[in-house]
């Protein structure tokens, strides 16, 4: 996962601070030297790392921190605030056109993931109720148009293409098409090169001049580290971009691009790619990323993912069943289905505060959930509603039908019984939750 090494080194530096009751100026400066070294090893721009630690030091050696009852915690709070500011301070939103369609032009080097992320962005906008149109503006790379059409088909978003005609003409005709067909967003997938050259930039400038996009987003592969920042700086100088889309933040990236891009270019990170699926695109929140780097988790993003995937009516129905202690296997199956939609289980668990470090070396078997769902599907509708009906012979039939063992069926039945018992205990304690959140019910709690 992204920032693992950086997070570990920062954690070690802060652990030494916490071990001291009071902090001296020397203690803070020594810790900041370790922080600067950690940032440089994470491929953060040298000037950015130097300015960052200087800003933290100036705030941390103030009398308010030194005289605090918990000076180490105050220093961590300052680091969190400065990290947030370093990455932009607050979420940066897409600028909407006064008169639709809103035109978004994606640019970047070949192999950065422009085409895939055009589809991811289109799917995100579609889920928000918009009607995006993808535009095949890359006429040079073999199969680029076909790739966009495949991505568009998966996302359920139309693709406008005119073969290998001039990209400027394609872009202008696409906007006309969008106006005629009621598309309120146009996402132009432009051509890339293996390096920045005059031909590439001239073409992008011509597209920009002809369609006047509301947003020019640069797609950057965060795995390239400091090179990604250099690419962003060059594109910004030549094209005046509006924001950055960082890809592969789920990979083994050191994090330098995310921490340097805003300071070096002056332009915000607007989205981050966190996986290979089309759903794996997140709005970039600097404060949440800072929390994750410092091992504080990212509960807000986790809750938002849950709210997007959870069926509200089903959540309320489950809440009522929990309140009356009437949970059955249908409810358990629904919860597994909705959690599965939120993405890989390990990714979800790492967003819980304190869990990211523990989950790094844990191999989470995603098939466990599939096996459990297979057991439930092997039950009859009556058995799912009335688990008490499941006797030994039924257990053998369910196990055979799901390809599992009788012990696995017993384990699942016990899991449901334990959940019901916990709910009864909560009820007796007078702590019934009469307003179950979608997030809570989505995880079967």
pLDDT one-digit tens code per residue, 215-261: 999 998 887 777 788 888 889 988 999 999 988 877 655 667 778 88
Note the pLDDT tens digit of each residue in 129-151.
Answer: 999 999 999 999 888 999 999 99
Nearest CA-CA partner of 443 in 362, 276, 331, 364: 331
**Looking at domain 303-442, what is its CATH homologous superfamily?**
Signal recognition particle, SRP54 subunit, M-domain (1.10.260.30)
- The confidence score (pLDDT) of residue 346 equals 61
Give residues with Cβ within 8 angstroms of 74, minimum separation 6.
60, 64, 65, 68
Mean pLDDT, the chain, integer: 81
- The confidence score (pLDDT) of residue 440 equals 40
- The confidence score (pLDDT) of residue 416 equals 84
Higher local confidence (pLDDT), 433 or 123: 123
- The confidence score (pLDDT) of residue 317 equals 64
Model confidence at 15, in pLDDT bands (50, 70, 90)?
Answer: confident
Domain 4-86 belongs in CATH node 1.20.120.140:
yes
Q: Which of 102-111, 200-209, 313-322 has the lowest mean pLDDT?
A: 313-322
Higher local confidence (pLDDT), 320 or 42: 42
Same fold, 4-86 and 102-289: no
Q: Which residues of 372-400 are buried (b: 16+ CB within 10 A; e: fewer)?
A: bbbbbebbeeebbeebeebeeeebebbbe
Higher local confidence (pLDDT), 31 or 181: 181
Model confidence at 367, in pLDDT bands (50, 70, 90)?
Answer: confident
Contact 265, 92 (CB under 8 A): no
The stretch 280-291 carries a mean pLDDT of: 85
The stretch 284-301 carries a mean pLDDT of: 71
Note the pLDDT tens digit of each residue in 300-353.
Answer: 555 555 555 555 566 566 566 666 667 788 888 887 777 776 666 666 666 555
- The confidence score (pLDDT) of residue 363 equals 60
The stretch 355-372 carries a mean pLDDT of: 65
Q: Which of 56-60, 202-206, 325-329, 370-374 tops mean pLDDT?
A: 202-206
Sorted by where each begins, the domain ranges of the chain are: 4-86, 102-289, 303-442
Q: Which of 32-36, 168-172, 302-306 tops mean pLDDT?
A: 168-172
Q: pLDDT exceeding 70 applies to what percent of the chain?
A: 78
Residue 278 has pLDDT above 80, yes or no: yes
- The confidence score (pLDDT) of residue 256 equals 77
Token duo for residue 26: 């020397």
Residue 384 has pLDDT above 80, yes or no: yes
Domain 102-289 belongs in CATH node 3.40.50.300:
yes
């Amino acid at each position: 996962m992204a920032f693992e090494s950086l997070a570990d080194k920062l954690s070690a530096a802060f652990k030494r601070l916490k071990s001291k009751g009071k902090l001296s100026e020397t203690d803070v400066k020594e810790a900041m030297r370790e922080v600067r070294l950690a940032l440089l090893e994470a491929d953060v721009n040298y000037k950015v790392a130097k300015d960052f630690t200087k800003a933290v030091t100036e705030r941390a050696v103030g009398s308010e921190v030194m005289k605090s009852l918990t000076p180490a915690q105050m220093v961590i709070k300052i680091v969190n605030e400065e990290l947030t500011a370093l990455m932009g301070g607050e979420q940066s939103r897409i600028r909407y056109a006064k008169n639709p369609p809103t035109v978004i032009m994606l640019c970047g080097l070949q192999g950065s993931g422009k085409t895939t992320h055009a589809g991811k962005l289109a799917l995100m906008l579609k889920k928000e109720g918009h009607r995006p149109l993808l535009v095949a503006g890359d006429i040079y790379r073999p199969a680029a148009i076909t790739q966009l059409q495949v991505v568009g088909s998966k996302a359920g978003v139309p693709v406008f293409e005119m073969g290998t005609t001039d990209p400027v003409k394609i872009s202008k005709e696409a906007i006309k098409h969008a106006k005629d067909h009621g598309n309120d967003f146009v996402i132009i997938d432009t051509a890339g090169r293996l390096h920045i050259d005059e031909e590439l930039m001239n073409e992008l400038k011509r597209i920009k001049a002809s369609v006047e996009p509301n947003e020019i987003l640069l797609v950057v592969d965060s795995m390239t580290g400091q090179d990604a920042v250099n690419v962003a700086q060059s594109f910004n100088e030549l094209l005046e971009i509006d924001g950055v889309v960082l890809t592969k933040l789920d990979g083994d990236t050191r994090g330098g691009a995310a921490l340097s891009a805003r300071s070096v270019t002056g332009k915000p990170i607007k989205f981050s790619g966190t996986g290979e699926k089309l759903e794996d695109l997140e709005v970039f929140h600097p404060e949440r990323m800072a929390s994750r780097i410092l091992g504080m988790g990212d509960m807000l993003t986790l809750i938002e993912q849950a709210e997007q995937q959870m069926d509200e009516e089903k959540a309320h129905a489950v809440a009522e069943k929990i309140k009356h202690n009437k949970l059955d296997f249908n409810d358990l199956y629904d919860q597994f289905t909705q959690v599965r939609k939120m993405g890989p289980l390990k990714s979800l668990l790492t967003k819980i505060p304190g869990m990211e470090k523990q989950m790094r070396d844990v191999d989470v078997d995603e098939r466990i959930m599939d096996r459990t769902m297979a057991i439930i599907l092997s039950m009859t509708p009556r058995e799912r509603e009335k688990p008490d009906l499941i006797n030994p012979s039924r257990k053998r039939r369910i196990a055979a039908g799901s390809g599992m063992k009788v012990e696995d069926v017993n384990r699942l039945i016990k899991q449901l019984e334990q959940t019901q018992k916990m709910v009864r205990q909560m009820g007796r304690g007078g702590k019934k939750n009469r307003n179950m959140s979608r997030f809570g019910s989505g995880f079967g709690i």
